[in-house]
Amino acid sequence: MKTYIFPLLVFLNCFYSATAQNRFESLKPEMVYLQTDRNIYIAGDNLSFSLYLKGNSKTMSKYAYLILRDRYNIPVTRARIEIKNQSSFGNISLPDTLHSDIYQLVCYTNWMRNEGEDSYFTKEIIIANRFDKKLERFDSTLYTYPSANSVNSDSIKKAGNENLLIQPDKQIYNTREKVNISIDAKNIQDDSIMKLSVSVSEIVPGSRNETSITEYFNNSYKAKKEGESGQNQYKYQPEIKGTIIDGRIVPVKHSDNQPVSDNTNNESDTIKYTVLVSTPDTIANMQFTTADSSGSFRFLLNPYYESKELIIRLKENAKAVLELDDKFKLTKPYIPSDLLTGPGIRYYLIRSLKISEVQRYYTERTETNTGKKTERTLAISRVYYNPYSRVFPADYLPLPDFVEISRELLPALKVRKLGDTYVSSYVDTQNRGVPSIEPSIFLDGVPIDDVNQIINLGTNEIKRIDLLPVIRYYGEMPLSGILAVFSKNLEINNIQFKTPTIRYQAISSQNFTKPIPYIPVNNNHMPDLRQVILWDPEIKMHNKEKLEIECYTSDLHGKYRISVQGLTSSGLPVNGSSIIIVKSKSE
């Protein structure tokens, strides 16, 4: 019989591995496109964006990662963006300490990391500091700002593959005049809903047209088909159901205690290490997983832990350190291009800085909606719900340490000294009072090593104590009773763990935010210096309908580009553009 069982187990194991591999191979490569409200900003501004994701609609990533970095590859800001129905939108605040320079936006999903950084979406923007009067980074060629009536061929050049017809009610407008824009779908066969983002912003003289969402997705798809990058190993999984945290247990040398890259610790070949995750809280909480033979582990993180400080540690002791995967790590260096250094850029920047100074004088700042997040029901990773007994030490006479507390207030718990250390145990009433195995001890919601770590806590430091003197199972993990101590001043922050431990700040997704729509006021004494006269990243349209939107011109005369980008519900990219001119009444 044993002769047949072993080959069967080998076959099942190979079948499972092949099935898991085929499951990931069947997923389409994902592509991200990012549209911003403009390309030039002043340090301290808000950068508004709209994100679109193309891939397998049934296994779409739930999160994207956005990084803004400078020419020295130093991240300026970074954010995790939650994706809902293949799209997202929001804004990031640009620090007012940034130097005047060209910066790069990088956006991708965890699944895209398998294709390498060449598959990431990148875009260059300019950020100018209002205290930088020289702007030495940019072209100093003398340039005359164009008249509002002049329209050159570069400005009116249409983006390729446009399948949306954008029609303003006229081409030339006065300042502070209402603009009516109609959006009509053409050459779109499928009967679906379109999610669009619309930007009407001042055209930067000398700048080139951006790549449209249609061009980007089609060209990226062709490049992948021709390159056939399809790697055999899928190191990073798609975050379909939630945040994934990857890590590994790295052995350390015995001599100099330095980490080594290869797994040379023989203990890891025989011990299945358990990795625990928890956060300081008023409830005992825990999530756990088991590392594989190479020391790698992976968590599908419970949403309860988002934005909290996590304590990640091994349950067993090992001469090793824990390393977590950094999703924001970029290895490919950024080298600024010359796309944003043409004639006219410097003049436009000087003008924008003067506009910024006037706006600050009038304390004018674009307001944004508070924003919304995808609501979800949180299942807290609590280890227990109701304790057998709960004790509040402050209700009794002061006691100096936990030995006295256990003796006087916790009759079911025994704490005794063995040599130089203390051990604790619950009395096992089922076995005639014989002490059982030491219970699992939690301090401020976090599992700790043993009772020695709380032995010096007296009634003045402890807020409450929960006792469960019975064997329990938390998932597949057996617990020989639970002792949960909650301190008044988060004593968990003073604990030195005996097993490899790392503290990790879990991030949360950004809110879905957008500027509050501009409403004109009859106040001629207040200047209206908006360079973006419309940004709406949340427009829905049926392809059989004709959509009408409106905005108002500002006091700035010049040329403005209407740019519409989006996706249909079936994943088809759509885009369209048009040009309008704003001039003063005197012209």
Flag whether pLDDT at 10 surpasses 50. Answer: no
- What value does the mean pLDDT of the chain take? 85
197 within a domain of the structure (yes/no): yes
Domain match, 167 and 181 both: yes
Cβ atoms of 198 and 176 closer than 8 Å = no
The pLDDT tens digits of the residues spanning 188-221 come to: 776 778 999 999 999 988 777 789 999 999 886 5
Nearest to 324, CA basis, from 396, 246, 384: 246
107 vs 262, more confident: 107
Mean per-residue pLDDT, 57-85: 94
| pLDDT number for residue 1 | 43
Nearest to 250, CA basis, from 503, 502, 505, 446: 502
The pLDDT tens digits of the residues spanning 335-357 come to: 998 766 666 788 889 899 999 88
254 within a domain of the structure (yes/no): yes
Mean per-residue pLDDT, 464-477: 93
Flag whether pLDDT at 25 surpasses 80. Answer: no
Whose structure tokens read 């804004």?
91
283 within a domain of the structure (yes/no): yes
CA pair distance 553, 564, nearest whole angstrom: 18
CA pair distance 402, 395, nearest whole angstrom: 15
Domain match, 252 and 286 both: yes
Confidence of residue 80 (pLDDT cuts 50, 70, 90): very high
500 vs 140, more confident: 500
Flag whether pLDDT at 4 surpasses 60. Answer: no
| pLDDT number for residue 272 | 86
384 within a domain of the structure (yes/no): no
Enclosing domain of residue 526: 31-223+330-367+515-583
Mean per-residue pLDDT, 268-277: 79
Neighbour order of strands in the sheet with 87-93: 31-36, 46-54, 87-93
Flag whether pLDDT at 9 surpasses 50. Answer: no
Confidence of residue 15 (pLDDT cuts 50, 70, 90): very low
The pLDDT tens digits of the residues spanning 139-163 come to: 654 444 454 444 444 444 555 578 8
| pLDDT number for residue 311 | 98
Go through 1-28 and write b for each residue having 16 or more CB atoms within 10 A of its CB, e for each that does not: eeeeeeeeeeeeeeeeeeeeeeeeeebb
Flag whether pLDDT at 266 surpasses 80. Answer: no
| pLDDT number for residue 517 | 87
Flag whether pLDDT at 261 surpasses 80. Answer: no
211 within a domain of the structure (yes/no): yes
Indicate the pTM of the whole model. Answer: 0.87
Q: Which of 505, 532, 565 is the last residue of a domain?
A: 505
| pLDDT number for residue 338 | 75
Domain match, 446 and 405 both: yes
CA pair distance 182, 456, nearest whole angstrom: 73
519 within a domain of the structure (yes/no): yes
Domain match, 37 and 95 both: yes
The pLDDT tens digits of the residues spanning 423-465 come to: 999 976 555 555 567 899 999 999 999 999 999 999 999 999 9
Cβ atoms of 24 and 237 closer than 8 Å = yes
Task: Please give the tally of structural domains in the chain.
Answer: 3
The pLDDT tens digits of the residues spanning 530-542 come to: 999 999 999 999 8
Domain match, 563 and 530 both: yes
318 within a domain of the structure (yes/no): yes
Two structure tokens written together for 204: 């930067």
Neighbour order of strands in the sheet with 413-418: 413-418, 421-428, 434-435
